[in-house]
């Protein structure tokens, strides 16, 4: 659901008086906290937008040599490394007066091996071309070593102390290598272990709601959220931001459900059982990446379910940005028992069974259906 900017002024006008019963110091503390991430938000949006530009350029001329194989067999592209280098450079440049810590998916290990020189050179050229396209930067081109260093800035472990940026340079890599499928550049900021800011650049996500999108419609969404300030959607081409909110649907039978495209990422059978118990009539919408969180935040669907295989540990960069984009739009993101996600424990999330998201009205019945389905599955083994 979209809210025009004119209505935002009215909404803000009525929010502030609710604080009048608090001491003045509390009011100013609230206002200062809501304003304290403005510079970081601007830097994050610039970084994600430039990374998206690089990814789009590579996707248009994707070569087989751009796709390498990681230990977990998911593809890594030249764009994956380039995106991380660009985001690292922009954040460090824009926020040079702040300590810089980045928790990110990639490292330069494979690029330092024999035979990777050509790939590294392609990345160096792409990164420098992308940085040069931003007129506010007048810096010397990065060397190969400079690109490797930018990538390896992402080796931080995060944790509950200080500020840490969290990045997935291309979330949904398999979707990325298939032209037109969904992927996202996902960037978040942790402050003392709490997600306080998130940006999702979704180059292939339609600007119109998925339910009414036509094949000829424009694509390219930039979602952004700051703790206490709501969620907004821009066009990657630079349109004015529009405030978005999650679906207000209260009847589960009317809800639509998002899940991962690949069964390896989430149990489709368990999701089907849950949907049946809720009475959901629409078939599931299966798309890659945290673009699902963006679509959910604007009301394209009402439920997101993710139940990975036993033993899989969720990584913080796969959910940090998306979770605040949904919660600031009025939704709830939790594990399958309703516990909030804890991003303060390093690279991984400790949670029960999986991750779910919905609006506040549907969550109680959703949690009940989940536990019933989990119990039934366990009893059948």
Which residues form the catalytic set?
80, 173
User: Can you read off the two tokens belonging to residue 139?
Assistant: 């810096």
Strand ranges for 124-244 from DSSP E: 163-171, 184-191, 194-206, 219-226, 230-235, 242-244
Per DSSP, 71 falls in state T
Tell which residue, 113, 114, 111, has the closest CA to residue 127.
Answer: 111
Q: Which two tokens stand for residue 223?
A: 């979602």
C-alpha–C-alpha distance, residues 66 and 56, integer Å: 14
Instruction: Quickly count: other Cβ atoms within 10 Å of residue 38's Cβ.
Output: 11
Question: Could you tell me how many helices (H) and strands (E) the chain has, helices first?
Answer: 11, 15
- Backbone phi and psi for residue 35, each to the nearest 5 degrees, phi listed first: -100, -5
CA gap 324, 195 in Å, rounded: 7
> For the chain, how big is the Rg over CA atoms in Å?
21
* Three-state DSSP state, 228: coil
Q: Judge contact between 328 and 229, C-beta under 8 A.
A: yes
Closest CA to 349 of 360, 331, 364, 334: 334
**CA separation for the pair 33, 25 (Å, rounded):** 12
- What CA–CA distance (Å, rounded) separates 254 from 53? 37
């Amino acid at each position: 659901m979209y809210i025009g900017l004119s209505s935002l002024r009215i909404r803000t006008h009525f929010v502030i008086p609710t604080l009048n019963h608090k001491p003045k110091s509390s009011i100013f503390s609230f206002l200062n906290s809501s304003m304290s991430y403005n510079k970081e938000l601007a830097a994050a949006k610039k970084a994600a937008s430039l990374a998206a530009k690089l990814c789009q350029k590579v996707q248009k001329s994707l070569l087989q040599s751009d796709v390498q194989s990681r230990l977990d067999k998911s593809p890594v592209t030249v764009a994956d490394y380039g995106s991380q280098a660009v985001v690292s450079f922009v954040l460090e440049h824009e926020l040079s007066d702040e300590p810089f810590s980045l928790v990110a998916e990639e490292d330069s290990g494979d690029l330092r091996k024999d035979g990777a020189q050509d790939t590294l050179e392609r990345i160096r050229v792409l990164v420098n071309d992308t940085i040069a396209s931003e007129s506010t930067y007048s810096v010397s081109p990065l060397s190969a070593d400079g690109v490797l260093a930018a990538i390896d800035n992402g080796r931080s472990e995060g944790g509950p102390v200080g500020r840490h940026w969290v990045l997935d340079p291309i979330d949904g890599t398999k979707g990325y290598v298939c032209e037109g499928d969904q992927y996202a550049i996902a960037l978040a900021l942790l402050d003392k272990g709490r997600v306080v800011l998130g940006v999702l650049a979704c180059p292939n996500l339609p600007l119109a709601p998925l339910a009414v999108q036509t094949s000829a419609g424009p694509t390219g969404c930039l979602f952004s959220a700051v703790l206490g300030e709501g969620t907004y959607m821009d066009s990657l081409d630079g349109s004015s931001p529009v405030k978005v909110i999650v679906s207000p649907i209260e009847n589960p039978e009317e809800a639509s459900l998002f899940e991962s495209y690949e069964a390896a990422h989430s149990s489709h059978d368990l999701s089907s059982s849950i949907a049946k118990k809720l009475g959901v009539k629409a078939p599931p919408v299966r798309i890659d990446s945290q673009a699902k969180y963006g679509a959910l935040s604007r009301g394209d669907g009402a439920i997101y379910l993710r139940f990975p295989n036993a033993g899989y540990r969720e990584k913080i960069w796969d959910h940090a940005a998306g979770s605040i984009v949904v919660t600031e739009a009025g939704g709830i993101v939790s594990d399958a028992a309703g516990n909030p996600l804890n991003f303060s424990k390093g690279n991984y999330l400790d949670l029960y069974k999986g991750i779910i998201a919905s609006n506040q009205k549907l969550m109680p019945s959703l949690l009940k259906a989940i536990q019933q389905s989990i119990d039934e599955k366990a009893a059948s083994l």
